[in-house]
Amino acid sequence: MDDEKSQHLMARRSLLLLIDFQARLMPVLSGGTEAINSAIWLGGIAQALEIPVWLTEHCPDKLGASAPMTHLLSERTRCFTKRSFSALDAQDFRKALEQSGCDQLVVCGAEAHVCVMQTVLSLCGAGYRVALVADGVASRRPREAALGVARCEAAGASIVSAEMVAYEWLGCADHVLFGDIHRRYLKPRAAEHLTFPGLGE
């Protein structure tokens, strides 16, 4: 497979970007719990695969820190504060991204129609390949979130699910970490959504 032409997400080219999952913002979001859970789930897989995990915080003096994400902090995790709605307009973030060697960004965050959307538009405009995790974004109003996701897709972002990302990063069942990641992440997540009519009644 030609890596440069492939439409697949590849672990060695990826960066997981978690936008503004901040303590004072989360309680007012519609779908916020699902978005946080998806982001944390992907963050754990990214760390297992040694994929960088970056966080942004918008005006943390007013919106608080990324409290739900603190356990993801490690030597491969960076946190950037910003005042611009697009993270790419923050000079330290832009410079770090240019130096990262990553050209595929997997994006989760809040709000979907504000900071997430403006960051995705900037990234697409700058030539990065962006995968926006549909179950990893949220806004105060579902309609605003849907419009934000649609705008991102029109700008060139791929709309994906958290599980799609995980399997693309792994690539195949022969991956050295597939068994461990399947046991710790994939199997439990699948079990949460499976129902077997007629059983256990």
One-letter amino acid of 12: R
Q: What is the pLDDT of residue 190?
A: 82
Which residues, in sequence order, are bridge partners of residue 130? 105
Residue located via tokens 């050209």: 103
Q: What is the pLDDT of residue 29?
A: 94
Mean pLDDT, each 10-residue run in order, the chain (201 residues): 74 97 90 92 94 93 74 75 97 98 98 98 98 98 98 99 98 96 92 54 35
CATH fold label, 12-193: Rossmann fold (3.40.50)
Distance CA 42, CA 48 (A): 10
54 close to 17: Cβ distance less than 8 angstroms? yes
Q: What is the pLDDT of residue 69?
A: 65
Q: What is the pLDDT of residue 77?
A: 86
Q: What is the pLDDT of residue 46?
A: 96
Domain map (residue ranges) of the chain = 12-193
Q: What's the Cα-to-Cα distance from 22 to each of 60, 104, 166, rounded to whole Å?
A: 8, 24, 24
Per-residue three-class SS string for the chain:
CCCCCCCCCCHHHEEEEEECCCCCCHHHCECHHHHHHHHHHHHHHHHHCCCCEEEEEECHHHHCCCHHHHHHCCCCEEEEEECCCCHHHCHHHHHHHHHHCCCEEEEEEECHHHHHHHHHHHHHHCCCEEEEEEEEEEECCHHHHHHHHHHHHHCCCEEECHHHHHHHHHCCCCCCCHHHHHHHHHHHHHHHHCCCCCCCC
Q: What is the pLDDT of residue 64?
A: 80
Distance CA 18, CA 41 (A): 12
Q: What is the pLDDT of residue 199?
A: 40
Q: What is the pLDDT of residue 24?
A: 86
Distance CA 184, CA 126 (A): 35
